[in-house]
Structure 1
Amino acid sequence: MTDLDARRLRDAYDAQIRPEIPDPLPAGVTVDSDGPLTRVLGLDQRGFITYRTLDGLAGPALDALIARQVEFFRARGEGAEWKLNGHDEPADLGDRLRAAGFVPEEQETVVVGPVAALAAAVPVLPEGVRLREVTAMADLERVAAMEEAVWNSDRSHLVTGLAREIEADPQSITVVVAEAGDEAISAGWVRYQRGTGFATLWGGSTLPQWRRRGVYRALVAYRARLAEQRGKALVQVDCSPESRPILERLGLVAVTTTTPYVYTP
């Protein structure tokens, strides 16, 4: 994969994935805009700020745009996440967000690649482990409980968020759980981006005692096959340092980074 190929994949990501707006909108979710920014409200435990480009804004004009977001969410008494990609301009955008009160969280890598390579992988699950597609509220609660065990933090927002997406359009998302007996040991979901050639993969958290045993690889391959069945050609993942080597071995390419900048009133 050449630098030019990686640039083409990044261009496809910018053109087709960004701004990241749910389609269709789940019940209770609203979208509005402020200049080049799109604000998604009511989807998660905090608002989400997304965009494709800032249209060349810089200096005082950019500071004013950021300040309006702080005031908007402060008035609502609500937190907000500004998703900053590593190739976003201007180069000092992160510094300006920090100066306005946004706090950067852990950086991830955006990887993109052909669905076919992932779908062709045939990982072997550990004995006694199976993958199952789920939609029931009880299963979503088990997913959240597993995530809470992994991250030692509240994940209850996943239950309501995923449930509303499924209710809005069951064909737009598939949640897959890896189970050992009655225990959920890992889970991930795939979103089929309407009107694009992309599917996006999310989740993938795995209980510590089940890591490095092929569970994550199996979840990736299973969801890639689902995407291929729906005619998607490319897959995109915001991945952690732990999952990046696995995804790159399966043919995905790092195209940029992504960092959540979070404002808390």
Structure 2
Amino acid sequence: MDTGGLLELYETRVRSQVPQLPPLGAVVCHDGPLVRTHYGTHGTVGHPPLTGPLPPGLVRRQAEAFAARREGARWKVHGHDPAGLAGELEAAGFEPGPERSVLVAAFDGLAPPQGPPADVRSLGAWEADPAWWPRLRELAAACGPHPDPLEEFETEAAWCGGRGDAAVVLADGRPAAAGWARVVPGTDVVAVGGLTSAPAAADLVRSWRGLGAMYRYEGARYCCAEAAGETRTALLAAGFTEVDTVRTFTLTPEGAPGATTRPVLGFGGVRQNAVWDRLWGEFGFRTKVVDMPGFAPPAPCATWPLGDPVEEHTRPVERAVRRALTAATAPGDRLYWMDWQHPCSDFDPHRVGRPGQPPWPGWAFPNGDFYLYLDTELRFGTFGHPWEPSLTVFGAPLLAAAEADLTRLLGEPLRRRD
């Protein structure tokens, strides 16, 4: 594919893929051709390729929207964008970052490695050494800024589902270089988020050819990267083509920033397993149909019978549980929503579910899976059993907040311990 074809591929499959639905824990706002994504800690502005100048005042309106939320923001400006866009951003308070080249390659067109293959290890693999993550963070912090900051990639890694990966290149058993990338949603293109070493750049990129294979048997077909200096030179030598330039403009909020943690985070791996282990060991959690009641929380606790999982039954129960969880927590407290054998969430109940906030994560009413809301110290929570079916509430503060509503909606408890 020639340069024009690769540019068209990049424009249609990467730049045009601005969020229509919100990412985990985020809010998406459309304003003309622009799409703002608010993550609760920062935000981004995206848009398809522009064919002309933006309407007057539109850029400044985006800056005002982020200021109202006390969020910083990032806005990428490409070489093919209207000439006056960069000036409008600076006038609205955005500061330009360094220019990078936009590089695109077909995996089939990458040059084979020169010499012995590098020892590239995926951190998404089961055999990955957890000690490599701190070293990866050190390597990332020593260079940059990166197109997709590592801390944001880590925040969303639990939800990538085989469509993202961080990897390290080992030298004498120790990570000497690192990179991270993820598949652009709905496409066969891998977007590189960051590379810490020019000599290892091509080796890391080659390792991501299989990303997305669980959704497409052959895996990804193309790769795009933003690079400058020696990394750009190394990727061009490996078979990439420069199709555009890009510069990230950054807006920093005045005064103290708002929240430093997203309202909703996905979590998995070692941390998630530790929660499940405690539930198995301390709460008698069991998942077989014959294991009834399958959960033995400490007193005080009560278990209510549930009806069919249809909307007219579930909505009042969900509202009651959410009110009780909010009442039992203070602003800034976090809860877990646990979904057996699925990704789980860590969230602040005071920053979700209201206008301008991301949706409330998960459900209390079980629908074929075991659902649990838990205080992060497991002092109180709910347990939805899909086979009984039933809803257990435990812990004094939560039970006091939920009992009257649940008894009114579901009748007297099946079981109770004071």
Q: Could you tell me the TM-score, scaled by structure 2's length?
A: 0.52
Bigger Rg, structure 1 or 2: 2
Aligned length: 244
TM-superposed CA distance for 1:223, in Å, is 2.3
CA contact (8 A) 1:24 1:169 kept: no
What residue is the counterpart of 2:38 in the other structure?
A: 41
CA contact (8 A) 1:107 1:259 kept: yes
- Aligned with 1:56: secondary structure? coil
CA contact (8 A) 1:26 1:165 kept: no
CA contact (8 A) 2:162 2:212 kept: no
1:176 to 148, 157, 167: 167
Q: Which ranges in structure 2 are unaligned for 5 or more consecutive residues?
A: 254-418
User: Could you say which structure has the higher helix fraction?
Assistant: 1
Provide the rounded CA distance (Å) in 2 between the counterparts of 1:25 and 1:188: 26
TM-superposed CA distance for 1:99, in Å, is 1.5
Across the aligned residues of Structure 1 and Structure 2, the Cα RMSD in angstroms comes to 2.9
> Structure 2 vs 1, CA of residues 169 and 143 (structure 1 numbering), >3 Å: closer, same or farther?
same
1:232-247 mapped onto 2 (5 Å cutoff): 232-247=220-235
TM-superposed CA distance for 1:184, in Å, is 2.4
Letter in 2 for 1:217: A
> Structure 2 vs 1, CA of residues 150 and 92 (structure 1 numbering), >3 Å: closer, same or farther?
closer
Q: Within the alignment, does 1:205 sit opposite 2:190 as a pair?
A: no
Provide the rounded CA distance (Å) in 2 between the counterparts of 1:249 and 1:226: 23
> Structure 2 vs 1, CA of residues 19 and 31 (structure 1 numbering), >3 Å: closer, same or farther?
farther
What residue is the counterpart of 1:102 in the other structure?
A: 94
Q: Within the alignment, does 1:84 sit opposite 2:72 as a pair?
A: no
Superposed CA deviations along residues 109-133 of structure 1, whole A, max 9, x for unmatched, are 0011211122x5124469xx72211
1:68 to 61, 76, 86: 61
Provide the rounded CA distance (Å) in 1 between the counterparts of 2:220 and 2:20: 16
CA contact (8 A) 1:19 1:38 kept: no
- Aligned with 2:207: secondary structure? helix
> Structure 2 vs 1, CA of residues 24 and 240 (structure 1 numbering), >3 Å: closer, same or farther?
farther
Q: Which has the higher contact order (CA 8 A, sep 6+)?
A: 1
1:1-265 mapped onto 2 (5 Å cutoff): 5-21=2-18, 27-42=24-39, 46-54=42-50, 56-58=52-54, 61-62=55-56, 64-89=57-82, 91-118=83-110, 121-124=112-115, 130-135=119-124, 139-150=132-143, 158-159=150-151, 161-181=152-172, 183-206=174-197, 214-224=199-209, 226=211, 230-265=218-253
Q: Could you tell me the TM-score, scaled by structure 1's length?
A: 0.79
Give the percent of matched residue pairs that are identical in Structure 1 and Structure 2: 30
Provide the rounded CA distance (Å) in 1 between the counterparts of 2:63 and 2:196: 31
> Structure 2 vs 1, CA of residues 117 and 53 (structure 1 numbering), >3 Å: closer, same or farther?
closer
Provide the rounded CA distance (Å) in 1 between the counterparts of 2:70 and 2:230: 35
CA contact (8 A) 1:116 1:224 kept: no
CA contact (8 A) 1:108 1:258 kept: yes
TM-superposed CA distance for 1:41, in Å, is 2.3
TM-superposed CA distance for 1:98, in Å, is 1.2
